[in-house]
Amino acid sequence: MCELLGMSLNGAINPKISFRGFQKLGKNNPDGWGIGYYKNKKATIEKEPINALSSDFLQNEKNLENILSKIIIGHVRKISQGKLSYNNTHPFKRDLDGKEYLFAHNGTVDCNNFDLSVFKPIGETDSEYMFCHLLECIQKKKIVNWSENEFEWLKQKLNQINKFGKLNCLMSNGEYLFCYHDIEGHNGLCFIQRKPPYREIKLKDIDWEVDLREEKNPNKTGFIIATKKLTKESWKKFNKGELIVFKDGKMIYSNHRDI
């Protein structure tokens, strides 16, 4: 099953440490990889319909070092719907009211009940179709500036969509990172907070230790979100049906926990 990676920081960073551990998940998710991020408020996507472990782009660490963003969404794919192709590889990107949205999903959703009029999928996946449907709902709701009322609405909308299948997803408009976990707990979703004092960590399933004191600016803080924990630390699990919203490296909304 596909795997997700999200990052929300209070300042732009490169994702080379987290993505190195995430890349290894291509072993069981060989049908594509992608990473979306924001540069000068514009969404940029790097993705390939190949195994992340075979990617020349990812083998060159300078490529990841050149990615600097406060919000990052990553995905490795195992096909459930749609052929192996660039257009079917996550994340997906669309413009809505001058904001560029990024979206990645794992699970499978029956989209036959979702009508589309404005946004149309380019590829063949249920994930992109669902993304288009969600954007149409946001547009119809006339959401331009997000606040707690809109977060509550989004949680309810994702709960409704979730009734048609299995849904874990990450979405961003360049300002917020929206992270939703399936109502039945499908495939898991967890997070860890990064803040000083930094220390040495060991990546899970990789014989590689990193001293974050040497890698991290002590002023940089934020959260990393993943399908499964990427390091041998204590990660916190999302609750079933939980939507968490992050902004500038802070958790600002949850329908299941106090902020």
The set of catalytic residues is 2
Helix (H) or strand (E) holding 169: strand 168-172
**Considering only CA atoms, which of 26, 179, 48, 156 is closest in space to residue 102?**
179
Angstrom distances, CA of residue 171 to CA of 8, 131, 195, 205, 255:
12, 9, 23, 27, 17
d(CA 45, CA 29): 19
Please enumerate in sequence order all residues whose Cβ is within 8 A of that of 107, keeping only pairs 6 or more positions apart, or say none. 1, 2, 165, 166, 167, 168, 182, 186, 187
Classify strands 236-237 and 250-254 as parallel, antiparallel or unpaired: unpaired
| Beta strands across the sheet bearing 33-39 | 42-48, 33-39, 69-76, 3-13, 222-226, 190-194, 236-237
d(CA 45, CA 214): 28
Give the chain's end-to-end CA distance (angstroms, integer).
Answer: 31
d(CA 259, CA 257): 6
